[in-house]
Amino acid sequence: MTKTKIAPSLLAADFGNLQRDVEMVNKSEADWHHIDVMDGVFVPNISYGMPVIKAIQKYATKPLDVHLMIVDPNRYIETFAALGAKILTVHYEACTHLHRTLQTIKANGMKTGVALNPHTNIKLLEDIINDIDIVLIMSVNPGFGGQSFIENTYNKIKALKELITRKGAKTEIEIDGGVTSANAKKLVEAGADVLVAGSFVFKSDNPTQTILDLIKATDI
């Protein structure tokens, strides 16, 4: 059984102590730093942009998993490559020419990620699944941390897993939103490979221990 990857979302970090929180993730058993970029247009919230990611990159020792919740992400692919992104995830709903966008991400040396909003059916990825390294299933509506998990996510994971197997793809499944140690096991059983957790990790009394708790919960 391959270990489920854990990607703490820095959106829930204490921005006044960003270096401390990035270093906590470095020293923890987590796998990636999840970085949420919101533009106030694609989603009704603005998070942070390039200067903050530059500061994160300075201290981060694990792969930067960048989740773009912005319109027309094509404009910034080279910029995020230069900022050290290892995985660049764009939203299906934000890309008119998704296939071209994925080729550009690849050409810039990053892994390709496609995120789906809760209303977007996984079947829409049928023709491009072999070009996608990671599908990020939103288990809340994107834009904010701390929302409650949408139960239909389990069905989406199972359907996506079936599609990946049928197409002989190597795509990983990442789940983002409302993840806790209470739903982690069921998510992994459904087929999840990577779990993003924001509030559950950073709003806990002992984030390092909470990451371990998540890993323990996913050990199926």
Q: Is 36 a catalytic residue?
A: yes
Q: Which stretch binds Zn ion (CB under 5 A): 91-99, 118-126, 171-179, 206-214?
A: 171-179
* Tokens encoding 84: 């050290």
* 36 binding Zn ion? (CB under 5 A): yes
145 known ligand binder: yes
Number of neighbours of residue 74 by Cβ within 10 angstroms: 16
Q: Quick one: which of 26, 146, 165, 209 contacts ligand DX5 (CB under 6 A)?
A: 146
User: Closest Cα partner for 140 from 118, 157, 155?
Assistant: 118
* 36 binding ligand DX5? (CB under 6 A): yes
Q: Give me the residue label for tokens 């106030």.
A: 40
What does the alpha-carbon distance between residue 3 and residue 212 come to, in Å, rounded to a whole number? 12
Q: Quick one: which of 67, 88, 140, 195 contacts Zn ion (CB under 5 A)?
A: 67
Number of neighbours of residue 15 by Cβ within 10 angstroms: 11
Q: Quick one: which of 56, 90, 98, 179 contacts ligand DX5 (CB under 6 A)?
A: 179
Site residue total, ligand DX5 (CB under 6 A): 21
* 133 binding ligand DX5? (CB under 6 A): no
* Tokens encoding 58: 């300075």
199 known ligand binder: yes
Cβ proximity to ligand DX5, 36 vs 172, nearer residue = 36
* 5 binding ligand DX5? (CB under 6 A): no
Cβ proximity to Zn ion, 18 vs 167, nearer residue = 18
Q: Which of 39, 133, 176, 193 is catalytic?
A: 176
Q: Which of 21, 36, 65, 133 is catalytic?
A: 36
Share in percent of the chain as helix, strand, coil (round to 5): 40, 20, 35
| Beta carbons of 112 and 140 less than 8 angstroms apart | no
| Beta carbons of 33 and 22 less than 8 angstroms apart | yes
Residue numbers belonging to the annotated binding site for a divalent metal cation = 34, 36, 67, 176
